[in-house]
Structure 1
Amino acid sequence: MLSILIVEDQVLVRQGLKMMIETDEELKVIGEADNGKEAVTLCEKHCFDLVILDIRMPIMNGLEATRIIRKRWPNLKILILTTFNDEDYALEALKNGANGYMLKNADADQLIRSIRSCLQGGLSIEDQVAAKVMPALIQENQQVDIDPQLTKRELDIITGIGQGLSNREIAEDLFLSVGTIKNHISVILDKLDLRDRTQIAIYAIRHHIV
């Protein structure tokens, strides 16, 4: 069973999300919070697999909570679920370490696919949001060269991450084990001085690797 924390200040929305998520028998909502500060407190007490965060909430918003959670629990997956199809919000969320950015008009199947993608190490971005975010990421750093320390194998893995593939999918494409992919990713993070897979995906887009 995969455990999920929902962070949303509207009770009815939380209840609706819980019902949608638990249509998948492998997903269980075991925590709920009204704001980012409560979310951080719950993460200190419980071991979650994924946190679903709204952006605009009282006391502490989802963007700040994302930054704190990513720093303190780097293996915990984070999915932003919001009404805001906003380029600036999406960019900040991804830079803070979010594994996905979805809009609240998604249906249950889309939400569950996005949750599973994040849990498997993929990068899940709503199509409408991606159409705004990707050009911005590319334009932001067009002149930066690819780090010459990267090997061809590492570039192949960066390409897969930039395409939103999970470690297993990359392993299958490259005929390697998942453990080998994880080892390569650790080396890539160290070489590029990056924090997580999301930053690798952004690196791939900025440097025209994908």
Structure 2
Amino acid sequence: MESDETLKIFITDDDIFFRSGIELVINAEKHLTVVGSAGNGKETLEKIKDLQPDVILIDIKMPMMNGIECIRKLKLEYPHMYILILTTFNEEEFIIEGLANGANGYLIKGIDFINLVNTIQDVVKGQYILPAEVASKLATYLVNTINKQPKLPEFIYSNNTFTIREQKIMSLLVERYTNKEIADNLSVSVGTLKNYLTVIYEKLQVKNRQEAAALLRNR
């Protein structure tokens, strides 16, 4: 893209006040303009068909369709579109899934406006955006997990069927951790863990923990 061309930006975030603030900042720049915004991934997919932005700024947790699922669909349909995750969530699961599904960078809200504008301009030059705090957290996670989880069946890793967190839960389940121990490991409540397990059982097409563990150990 030529330096004198105006970059078209689309903002996806369920906080309308945040969207409005970012829009004011971006539109104040000479070669940047916000062409549209949305409050969730589903609305984003509907709007950008006509708008065709160059860069999308997108949050992670939103109603209707979250950021990760939206990124996955965007990259399938618009592989050359630049996507920057801009979120408050710094969990390893979101970082890995966001980048694995095609995001060109991962930013944490609170970034000053000058750096945000510079980052938008950098990403269209082919730079991969990963601030030091995100890169450090990702590196630590990878070091701590490599070779420390039992090998799960190959089908678990195919077709993006299971999220990173679901894979972690299944690994702990195979190691015979209790629900309380798994919940503590993931820093979630036992109730939240049970919700995860329900989804895992449905995806595995099993009825309970025992059947799931047997399937994961024997495949």
- The answer to whether the Cα contact below 8 Å between 2:35 and 2:51 also exists between their aligned partners in 1 is no
User: What secondary structure is seen at the aligned counterpart in 2 of 1:125?
Assistant: coil
Alignment match, 2:38 = 33
Cα separation, 2, equivalents of 1:121 and 1:67: 19
Higher mean alpha-carbon deviation, 128-137 vs 20-29, is at 128-137
Output the amino acid matched with 1:32: S
- Answering whether residue 84 of structure 2 is matched by residue 90 of structure 1, we say no
Cα separation, 2, equivalents of 1:136 and 1:44: 37
Task: After TM superposition, list the pairs within 5 Å mapping 1:114-125 onto structure 2.
Answer: 114-125=119-130
Q: RMSD of the TM alignment (CA)?
A: 1.6
Cα separation, 2, equivalents of 1:139 and 1:117: 31
Residue identity (%): 37
Cα separation, 2, equivalents of 1:126 and 1:120: 17
Output the amino acid matched with 2:60: I
Alignment match, 1:21 = 26
- The answer to whether the Cα contact below 8 Å between 1:100 and 1:114 also exists between their aligned partners in 2 is no
- The answer to whether the Cα contact below 8 Å between 1:118 and 1:124 also exists between their aligned partners in 2 is yes
Pick 1 or 2: higher relative contact order, CA cutoff 8 A, min separation 6.
1
Instruction: Give TM-score, length-normalised by structure 2.
Output: 0.61
In the TM superposition, residue 40 of structure 1 has moved relative to its aligned partner by 0.8
Q: How has the CA–CA distance of structure 1 residues 128 and 61 changed in structure 2, closer, same or farther, with 3 Å as cutoff?
A: same
Q: Structure 2 residue aligned with 1:103, among 98, 101, 108?
A: 108
Output the amino acid matched with 2:124: L
CA deviation profile, 1:24-79 (whole Å, cap 9, x unmatched): 21010011101001111112222110011011110000011011001110000000
Task: After TM superposition, list the pairs within 5 Å mapping 1:199-210 onto structure 2.
Answer: none
In the TM superposition, residue 136 of structure 1 has moved relative to its aligned partner by 3.8
- The answer to whether the Cα contact below 8 Å between 1:85 and 1:129 also exists between their aligned partners in 2 is yes
- Answering whether residue 112 of structure 2 is matched by residue 80 of structure 1, we say no
- Structure 1 segments of 4+ aligned residues over 6 angstroms from their partners: 138-142
Output the amino acid matched with 2:25: M
Alignment match, 1:51 = 56
Gaps of 5+ in 2: 1-5, 148-219
Alignment match, 1:8 = 13
Cα separation, 2, equivalents of 1:138 and 1:47: 39
Instruction: Give TM-score, length-normalised by structure 1.
Output: 0.64
CA deviation profile, 1:126-150 (whole Å, cap 9, x unmatched): 22111111344567679xxxxxxxx
Q: How has the CA–CA distance of structure 1 residues 42 and 135 changed in structure 2, closer, same or farther, with 3 Å as cutoff?
A: same
- The answer to whether the Cα contact below 8 Å between 1:2 and 1:26 also exists between their aligned partners in 2 is yes
Task: After TM superposition, list the pairs within 5 Å mapping 1:48-197 onto structure 2.
Answer: 48-137=53-142
